[in-house]
């Protein structure tokens, strides 16, 4: 009873000053345990941090410039391969980035055929089947073009390449392509199309002599522009996708390096390039694949149930535009990172000037493949795609002599012939 009385408040709402030994000890134990947990957490975090920084850099961060970004490079044999590939019969030595890509392969072969020194650079990423990229690499090697397995974000590699070869030109075609993939992996676009471009321009502005640069922008920069055909003077401040935004950013970055360092820079806005050795993520490519497999294909419609149209441009025409831009590029005016005078800055549309509805593309593929497609019309998703593209190429025609000559059916016929040959399992046939 006395214990019960002692633990009862003498005044309602107030406890007696003395606390039970049980409560006091419980509080002390709880406090000690909390401190112990806190210190253990700090210790564990420190151990994890130490382990992480001690690990070898097998998976580089997006903006790392470590040598591990690419495959192994360097050594006397490697340098001999680089030098031999860049050896030239003309006055041009060209570094082609993205050389194992679709456009990069065709441009590299065209440059090599006419006697230019050509060195390729590609990181062979897995955005689409790397086996196709390796097959293109084999094609280039048979033509005498060595492709360095490395990344444009690798500062040490770029510096080494410019030390070994005094490039007169850079054909920058490396990029993270694709409009829809940006919704899955946005960081890859910033890594390649912005950080990678800046890294390359840094290497170029520090080189002596500075090379002239031709690089691949995109028709995607026109975004939500409704004025047709698209002209280089039209507004490009309404990108419809992250991919388009990174290409627009590239054009602004090019202006900056031209203005500050005297780099001669030409940007090319490609319009829906197609043809042999193309990209599997492009509609014409996966339409052909799915039609042959009897799978259903989805064809986008705009909100008014009108079909989507594209200014499909055959790869050989694009190559002519790339070479025309390179041949008319003036020398950079800087040296060792210092500008000595105004430098050339240009941008051109490279298209076919004849937009074709995607439904017509499918009809042509059905005819060439001799298989009827299982078609499904679906609303255009809000993923960055635009309803139509249409190039005004008058400036490119005037300045570069550019004029496309391949209509869609002729170009698709060449693509289908290559596709059936390449995927038939027979590697002995020529794909050209």
| Residue 277, in any domain of the structure | no
Is the per-residue pLDDT at 107 higher than 90?
yes
Measured CA to CA, the distance from residue 64 to residue 199 in angstroms comes to 11
Q: Domain range holding 21?
A: 1-7+17-43
Higher pLDDT, 15 or 145: 145
CB-facing half-sphere around the CA of 34: CA atoms within 13 A: 6
389: DSSP letter: -
In a domain, 94, yes or no: no
Tokens 């564990």 map to which residue?
44
Q: Does a structural domain hold residue 268?
A: no
Mean local confidence (pLDDT), 199-223: 96
Determine, yes or no, domain membership for 22: yes
- Identify whether the C-beta of residue 95 lies closer than 8 Å to the C-beta of residue 223: no
Contact 228, 390 (CB under 8 A): yes
Mean pLDDT of the residues in the chain? 85
Residue 27 located in a structural domain:
yes
pLDDT in tens, 115-156: 999 999 999 999 999 999 999 999 999 999 999 999 999 999
Start-to-end C-alpha separation, the chain:
105
Per-residue burial over 202-227, b if 16 or more Cβ lie within 10 Å, else e, is bbbbbbeebbbbbbbbbbbbbbebee
Q: According to the model, what pLDDT value does residue 385 have?
A: 65
CA atoms within 13 A on the CB side of 320: 18
Query: What are 268's strand-pairing partners?
Result: 216, 348
Residue 47: pLDDT band (50, 70, 90) is very low
Q: Which residue has the higher pLDDT, 292 or 8?
A: 292
Whether residue 55 is contained in a domain is answered as no
**Peptide bond before 209: cis, by omega within 30 degrees of 0?**
yes
Burial class (CB in 10 A: 0-12, 13-18, 19+), 429: exposed
The arithmetic mean of pLDDT across residues 155-173, rounded, is: 97
Tell whether 29 is covered by a domain: yes
Q: Which residues are catalytic?
A: 243
Which pTM value belongs to this model?
A: 0.82
Question: What is the mean pLDDT of the segment spanning 168-195?
Answer: 94
User: Is the distance from CB of 271 to CB of 311 less than 8 angstroms?
Assistant: yes
Asked if 218 and 311 count as a contact pair (C-beta separation under 8 A), the reply is no
Lowest mean pLDDT, pick from 122-131, 218-227, 304-313, 332-341? 304-313
Rounded-to-10 torsion of CA 324, 327, 329, 331: 170
**What is the count of structural domains for the chain?**
1
Q: Which of 68-77, 83-92, 234-243, 298-307 has the lowest mean pLDDT?
A: 68-77
On whether residue 28 sits in a domain, the answer given is: yes
What span, in angstroms and rounded, lies between the C-alpha atoms of 279 and 274?
8
pLDDT at 110 over 70: yes
* Residue 384's pLDDT band (cuts 50, 70, 90): low
Q: What is the pLDDT of residue 383?
A: 56
């Amino acid at each position: 009873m006395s214990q019960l009385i002692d633990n009862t408040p003498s005044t309602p709402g107030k406890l007696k000053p003395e606390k039970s030994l049980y409560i006091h000890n419980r509080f002390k134990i709880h406090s000690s345990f909390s401190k112990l947990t806190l210190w253990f957490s700090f210790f564990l975090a420190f151990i994890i941090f130490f382990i992480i920084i001690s690990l070898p850099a097998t998976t580089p961060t997006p903006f790392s410039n470590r040598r591990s970004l690419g495959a192994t490079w360097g050594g006397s044999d490697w340098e001999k391969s680089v030098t031999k590939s860049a050896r030239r019969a003309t006055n041009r030595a060209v570094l082609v980035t993205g050389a194992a890509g679709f456009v990069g392969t065709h441009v590299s072969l065209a440059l090599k055929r006419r006697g230019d020194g050509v060195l390729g650079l590609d990181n062979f990423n897995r955005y689409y089947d790397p086996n196709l990229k390796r097959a293109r690499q084999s094609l280039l090697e048979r033509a005498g073009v060595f492709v360095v397995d490395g990344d444009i974000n690798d500062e040490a590699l770029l510096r080494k390449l410019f030390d070994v070869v005094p490039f007169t030109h850079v054909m920058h075609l490396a990029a993270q392509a694709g409009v829809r993939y940006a919704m899955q992996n946005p960081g890859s676009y910033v890594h390649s199309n912005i950080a990678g471009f800046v890294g390359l321009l840094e290497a170029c502005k520090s080189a002596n002599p500075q090379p002239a640069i031709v690089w691949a922008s995109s028709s995607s920069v026109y975004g939500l522009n409704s004025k047709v055909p698209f002209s280089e003077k039209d507004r490009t401040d309404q990108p419809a996708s992250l991919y388009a935004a990174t290409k627009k950013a590239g054009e602004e970055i090019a202006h900056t390096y031209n203005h500050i360092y005297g780099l001669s820079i030409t940007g090319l806005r490609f319009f829906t390039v197609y043809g042999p050795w193309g990209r599997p993520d492009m509609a014409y490519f996966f339409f052909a694949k799915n039609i042959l497999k009897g799978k259903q294909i989805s064809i986008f419609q705009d909100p008014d149930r009108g079909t989507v149209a594209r200014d499909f441009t055959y790869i050989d025409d694009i190559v002519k535009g790339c070479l025309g831009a390179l041949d008319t590029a003036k020398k950079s005016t800087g040296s060792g990172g210092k500008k000595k005078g105004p430098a050339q800055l240009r941008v051109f549309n490279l298209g076919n000037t004849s937009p074709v509805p995607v439904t017509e593309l499918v009809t042509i593929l059905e005819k060439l493949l001799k298989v009827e497609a299982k078609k499904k019309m679906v609303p255009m998703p809000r993923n960055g795609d635009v309803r139509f593209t249409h190039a005004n190429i008058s400036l490119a025609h005037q300045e570069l002599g550019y004029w496309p000559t391949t209509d869609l059916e002729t170009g698709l016929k060449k693509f289908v012939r290559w596709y059936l040959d390449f995927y038939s399992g027979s590697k002995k046939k020529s794909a050209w």
